[in-house]
Amino acid sequence: MAARIEDYAAIGNCETMAMVGRDGSIDWLGFPRFDSAACFAALLGDSRNGRWLVAPTGVPADVKRRYRGDTMILETTFEAETGAVCVVDFMSRGEGTSDLVRIVRGVRGKVAMRTELVIRFEYGSIMPWVSRRDDGRREITAGPDRLLLAADVPLHGEDFRTVGKFEVEAGEEISFMLSWSRSYHAAPEPRSASEALAQAESFWSKWLERFKPGKEWPEAVKRSLLTLKALSHRETGGIVAAGTTSLPEKIGGSRNWDYRFCWLRDATFTLYALLGAGFVEEAKAWRGWLLRAVAGSPQDLRIMYGVAGERRLEEYEVSWLKGYEASSPVRIGNAAAKQIQLDVYGELLDALYVARKAGLDANAASWALECSLIGHLETIWNEPDNGIWEVRGGRKHFTHSKVMAWVAFDRAIRSVEEFGLDGPVAHWREVRDVIHKQVCEKGFDRALNSFVQSYGSKSLDASLLLIAMVGFLPPSDPRIRGTLAAIESGLMREGFVLRYHTSEGADGLPAGEGVFLACSFWLADNYILQGRLDDARKLFESLLLVRNDVGLLAEEYDPSGRRQLGNFPQAFSHLALFNTAHNLTSANGAVHQRSRQ
């Protein structure tokens, strides 16, 4: 049986991310980047596709996990018949290396332990060469990749695995370190696990100490910020949407996508959260990534890029992996990169406007880019697109996309008026007004008393919750209230929000997915705008209960099966959590700033 998605915890070093199960098995990891081919792919296959187990030899009576303070250092305590042991898992980095470290600490009594290391490069398909070095480390090589394994206990090869058994007494500590480097470079010098641990703990704690949480929900808010930071790349400034690929939106289904890339939309929403917490440097790094990624003609703007700004994200299927709980196919790359999604223009302009308001220094290249994008948007805003949910069934005139086109012009106008930048404000106002009028005429259905998913349709869509949040109409407008009421009655499942309706399955959920967690946070934000603070608080606290035992969220949730769905951990969910908490605890929250006309 595969572990439930919420049975995993994430560790990372702002370069890549690993998934650690409650059973002590690391079932997913790619070196050296988030989007690199995995050498542990058991998450989407089985142990033969690569994993690293460190756990008691018997079935533990109890397992408890936590992150150490304000870090991404995971501590898993196993209670066995003969005692207790804590496995400390984290990632660090050295010069040209990326390190995965596991430290086993005896807590009480004596515990018999075992380890099983199965490395299979290229998503579980390539068995490497393994050799012993003079310094005692094992060298594991295939093509350009090399892993060096250092261990404090004897290990041996067995059935193409590296295994070992050992005992840990109270107060004793046994360390393992697996370090990646280029196979054609000189092997890096060994590092001690204690040195790596001190480095990792200092990095995370110092990063977060600048943030002062409110009195309510401080741990949930801090964990979300740490997760967002862990999903950002320390060198490029790119922010990936999630740490995994192909975790399903519905168990056994085919809606399994690769989320290890930098969506412009997700990244801009992440910036709202980071800027709201005072992390301006992250915004500056992302702006630099953006300028490099979108270089060239504005008509070539992609909705997503690679971690360093790559544009070729060709999608293919990995046939030898059976998929998480037989949810196939397993996909690498993402064909949606070639889609047209008009809303990204609004999100980009809004993010850069908010960054200016937060004190990000002026940048002439950034404003030149924005003006270029606005000029191109003027020629295409009236065309159909694939929309925020990246539908693959044909383009439509999505209402949310048109609203965000309005936002792009609106934020360009504000940037000129508030920051003294140069631009044809009068002309931009004319275009903005034309878009506004069209949306109100074609995107609103009087019979439903609600905005609709696309022009001429009768369908609802949770993205309509953003209309008031971005300031297109004031929260008091009857059309906003009508849309909110329609979504409450038509898109709710057990207190949470669906993205939209497709054909329903036997469980009452849209075929292919669960409820979308970010949309449920948006509903809470709308309650705040309406002054329904009790409703907002109730919904927010019910969403907190969906988090797993270490505070992490996937993309979606199955309310009938009571389990998380989709790629994990999901930036969209965590940034929405942060923003809603901020809105609930601050009279001048981000939702109010974005909605002010």
In a domain, 465, yes or no: no
Q: How confident is the model at residue 2, as a pLDDT? A: 72
pLDDT exceeds cutoff 70 at 83? yes
Q: How confident is the model at residue 296, as a pLDDT? A: 79
Q: How confident is the model at residue 508, as a pLDDT? A: 40
pLDDT tens string 540-567: 999 999 999 999 999 999 999 999 999 9
Please tell me whether the peptide bond between 510 and the residue prior to it is cis, using omega within 30 degrees of 0: no
- Domain of residue 20 covers 5-185
Q: What pTM was estimated for this model as a whole?
A: 0.94
In a domain, 139, yes or no: yes
The one-letter amino acid code at 368 reads A
In a domain, 478, yes or no: no
CA–CA dist 98, 468 (Å, integer): 44
pLDDT tens string 514-541: 899 999 999 999 999 999 999 999 999 9
Contact assessment for residue 303 and residue 265, using Cβ atoms and an 8 Å cutoff: yes
More confident residue, 573 or 1: 573
The one-letter amino acid code at 422 reads D
Contact assessment for residue 347 and residue 575, using Cβ atoms and an 8 Å cutoff: no
CA–CA dist 140, 131 (Å, integer): 7
Q: How confident is the model at residue 506, as a pLDDT? A: 38
Please count the residues of the chain. Answer: 597
Q: How confident is the model at residue 60, as a pLDDT? A: 83
CA 153 to chain CA centroid, Å, is 36
In a domain, 576, yes or no: no
The average pLDDT across 3-29 equals 98
In a domain, 201, yes or no: no
Q: How confident is the model at residue 453, as a pLDDT? A: 97
Percent of the chain surpassing pLDDT 70: 96
- Give the CATH number of the domain where residue 61 resides: 2.70.98.40
The average pLDDT across 334-357 equals 92
pLDDT tens string 438-461: 999 999 999 999 999 999 999 999
Contacts with 447 (C-beta within 8 Å, 6 or more apart), sequence order? none
The average pLDDT across 162-179 equals 97
In a domain, 53, yes or no: yes
Q: How confident is the model at residue 502, as a pLDDT? A: 67
Per the structure, how many domains does the chain have? 1
- In this structure, of 228-232, 335-339, 504-508, the range with the lowest mean pLDDT score is 504-508
Q: Indicate the Cα dihedral angle 473, 477, 479, 481, nearest 10°.
A: 110
The average pLDDT across 1-11 equals 91
Ranges of H-type helices in 395-493: 399-419, 425-442, 466-469, 478-490
pLDDT exceeds cutoff 50 at 504? no
Residue found by looking up tokens 């990204």 in the block = 344
Q: How confident is the model at residue 218, as a pLDDT? A: 96
The average pLDDT across 185-213 equals 95
β-pair type (563-565, 556-558) = antiparallel
- What does the block give as tokens for 345? 């223009």
pLDDT tens string 308-344: 999 999 999 999 999 999 999 999 999 999 899 999 9
Q: Phi first, then psi: give them for residue 3, nearest 5 degrees.
A: -70, 150
- What does the block give as tokens for 223? 């964990």
Residue found by looking up tokens 């012993």 in the block = 132
Q: Residue 238 carries which DSSP code?
A: -
Mean pLDDT of the chain: 93
CA–CA dist 155, 55 (Å, integer): 15
Q: How confident is the model at residue 360, as a pLDDT? A: 84
Q: E strand or H helix at 497, and its extent?
A: strand 496-497
In a domain, 181, yes or no: yes
In a domain, 285, yes or no: no
Contact assessment for residue 222 and residue 211, using Cβ atoms and an 8 Å cutoff: yes
